[in-house]
Structure formats: C-alpha cells, structure tokens
Amino acid sequence: MTGGSALLAGIDAGLGDDGSRAGNIDINVSDAILLNDGSFIGNGVRSQATGQGADVNILTSALLIENGAAVDVSTFGAGKGGNLNVDAQDIQLIGTTADGRFRIVILSHLVKGEHLVVILSDLIKG
C-alpha cells in the first residue's frame, strides 16, 4: 500500500449501539507487505461511537512500514477496542510518522481491554 492508501474498518463517529461490533481486518500474505508514504491500516471505535471494536490480524513473511505509514487499533468511544496481532518473520520500521513525532508506527491504544501481540524473528528499526 502506498501513496496515502487506507484500509479501514470500525464504527464511525456518532454511530453504533451497545450491540454493534466492527468487523476484523485479516491480511494473510505469503510474501512481504509494504506500507509506505502515509498509508494506513486501522480498525477503531471513533469518538462518540458505541460498540465493540474488532481486530487487525496480519500474517506475512515480512512487514515493512516506512515514511509515515501506520497500523492502528484504537477506541475513542464507548466500548472495548479490538486487538492488533502481527505474525511475521521480519518487521522493519523505517522513518517517522507523517508529523515526525513518532518512530514506532505499529500502534495500539491499549485501553478498555485491547491486546497487542507481535510474533517475529527479526526486528529492524531504521
């Protein structure tokens, strides 16, 4: 994914109810996954939304995230967020977020019960 592309799921601002549940994002790629130039994979419960968030599951041989790209699981509304699960032999994190503030671009706002699980053989941070 490049050029500011986005893959999004979740419950948008002001939507949902107590029984609402977002859908998972499941990515299973035998080769490498490249996210760059501000591209974004996210699953979240937005502000003033109600319901259960869902997971982002990434299974790949290599995950390369660079130049402001991000993977995010978050909740800012009522209800629990989902989990971020990454299973990769190699993960490379290169550069910073678009605003230059953060070097680590795999994000999980760990509130209301979410989990961050990363399984890898090698982590290369540039």
Write the pLDDT tens digit of every residue in 48-98.
989 988 999 999 998 888 888 888 888 888 878 788 888 888 888 887 766
Question: Which residues is 61 bridged to in the sheet?
Answer: none
Position 80 in a domain: yes
- CA pair distance 3, 94, nearest whole angstrom: 16
- CA pair distance 109, 32, nearest whole angstrom: 25
The amino acid at residue 19 is G
Structural domain of 96: 6-13+22-125
Position 1 in a domain: no
Position 93 in a domain: yes
Write the pLDDT tens digit of every residue in 10-48.
999 999 898 899 999 999 999 999 998 888 899 988 889
- CA pair distance 34, 95, nearest whole angstrom: 14
What is the pTM (predicted TM-score) of this model? 0.80
State both tokens at 88: 């990769």
pLDDT band at 120 (very low <50, low <70, confident <90, very high): very low
The number of distinct structural domains making up the chain is 1
pLDDT band at 126 (very low <50, low <70, confident <90, very high): low
Position 88 in a domain: yes
Position 101 in a domain: yes
